[in-house]
């Protein structure tokens, strides 16, 4: 699974001003990411507002990304939820042939115990025909997958091959990297922890900012993977304000504001999310337009 090294991007789902899908804009987002040098694409993740998409819309989004990518980059699909049996059925019913892996978020809202999380992924492991990447994002799910649980899953479920770690706690990330079995991948799920995660032994990031500023994020991660830490830190420091801005009013409102400033898509999101404020849009546009790679 070396195709998961480097910078993956969690693709947005562009909407027209009336809230309908904008598949032409989605094609532009995919091209912008590919041309910017990212390493793989993640479709139907949290950033895609997948919980607000109908089954038919999800199908159209997936088909559009596959066609526009045209085999150029590896693809990962997000399939997760808090109803274990329903997620297992979706895994069985979905044609996973075009995808290299499945990204599956830890059950949200239910707040399962560590044993519940383990049993959830054990079921999904049996149901999936493709490798699974765990997704730990306590700020959204209300529960935290502890390193000991990740190790237990890794040792019990051979096709669970890695974790997108968005706990935001670098000490937990360090502990995780130390304890997981050899060959189990730790991928940063937060832009701000991406470089530190790579320096500690992670293999890359699944990024939000990376689809808006693909060459910059990809370059930073390559510096980290190549041991060019000084260059990586300089680029990280330059990108840090942008990482903060795009999450200031929630995701994906911020990254969609970048695409609006670039003329790629509108900044429209679906309720209960709302567009970035005019003030934030102005700050985001200024950051992107004035950004200069320091190296």
Q: pTM score, two decimals?
A: 0.97
User: Is the torsion defined by CA of 77, 82, 88, 90 positive or negative?
Assistant: negative
Identify the band that residue 43 occupies on the pLDDT scale cut at 50, 70 and 90. very high
What is the mean pLDDT of the segment spanning 207-231?
Answer: 98
pLDDT tens-digit profile of 249-259? 999 999 999 99
Identify the band that residue 237 occupies on the pLDDT scale cut at 50, 70 and 90. very high
Is 164 tagged catalytic? yes
Identify the band that residue 295 occupies on the pLDDT scale cut at 50, 70 and 90. low
pLDDT at 240 over 80: yes
Which pLDDT belongs to residue 1?
A: 79
Domains and CATH numbers, the chain: 2-229 (3.20.20.70)
CA distance 87 to 127: 9
Q: Three-state SS across 64-132?
A: HHHHHHCCCCCEEEECCCCCHHHHHHHHHHCCCCCCCEEEEECCCCCCCCHHHHHHHHHHHHHHCCCCE
φ/ψ of residue 43, rounded to 5: -110, 145
What is the mean pLDDT of the segment spanning 143-168?
Answer: 98
Catalytic choice (108, 135, 185, 223): 135
What is the mean pLDDT of the segment spanning 147-163?
Answer: 98
Contacts of 273 (CB under 8 A, 6+ apart): 49, 250, 252, 253
pLDDT tens-digit profile of 105-124? 999 999 999 999 999 999 99
Average pLDDT taken over every residue of the chain: 97
Which pLDDT belongs to residue 293?
A: 78
Catalytic choice (28, 58, 130, 164): 164
Is 185 tagged catalytic? no
């Amino acid at each position: 699974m070396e195709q998961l090294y480097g910078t993956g991007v969690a693709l947005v789902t562009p909407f027209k001003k009336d809230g309908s899908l904008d598949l032409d804009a989605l094609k532009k987002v995919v091209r912008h990411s590919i041309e910017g040098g990212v390493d793989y694409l993640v479709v139907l993740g949290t950033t895609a507002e997948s919980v607000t998409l109908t089954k038919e819309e999800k199908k159209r989004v997936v088909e559009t990304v596959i066609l526009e990518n045209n085999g150029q980059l590896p693809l990962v699909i997000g399939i997760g939820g808090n109803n274990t049996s329903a997620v297992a059925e979706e895994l069985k019913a979905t044609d996973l042939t075009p995808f290299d892996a499945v990204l599956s978020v830890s059950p949200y809202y239910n707040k399962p115990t560590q044993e519940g999380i383990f049993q959830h992924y054990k079921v999904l492991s049996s149901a999936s025909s493709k490798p699974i990447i765990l997704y730990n994002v306590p700020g959204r799910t209300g529960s935290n997958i502890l390193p000991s649980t990740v190790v237990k899953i890794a040792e019990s479920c051979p096709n669970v091959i890695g974790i997108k770690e968005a706990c935001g706690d670098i000490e937990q990330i360090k502990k995780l990297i130390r304890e997981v079995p050899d060959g189990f991948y730790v991928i940063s799920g937060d832009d701000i922890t991406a470089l530190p995660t790579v320096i500690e032994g992670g293999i890359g990031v699944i990024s939000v900012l990376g689809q808006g500023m693909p060459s910059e994020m990809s370059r930073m991660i390559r510096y980290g993977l190549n041991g060019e830490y000084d260059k990586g830190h300089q680029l990280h420091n330059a990108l840090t304000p942008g990482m903060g801005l795009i999450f200031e009013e929630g995701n994906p409102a911020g990254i969609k504001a970048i695409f609006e400033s670039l003329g790629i898509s509108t900044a429209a999101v679906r309720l209960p999310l709302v567009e970035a404020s005019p003030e934030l849009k102005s700050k985001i546009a200024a950051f992107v337009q004035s950004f200069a790679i320091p190296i």
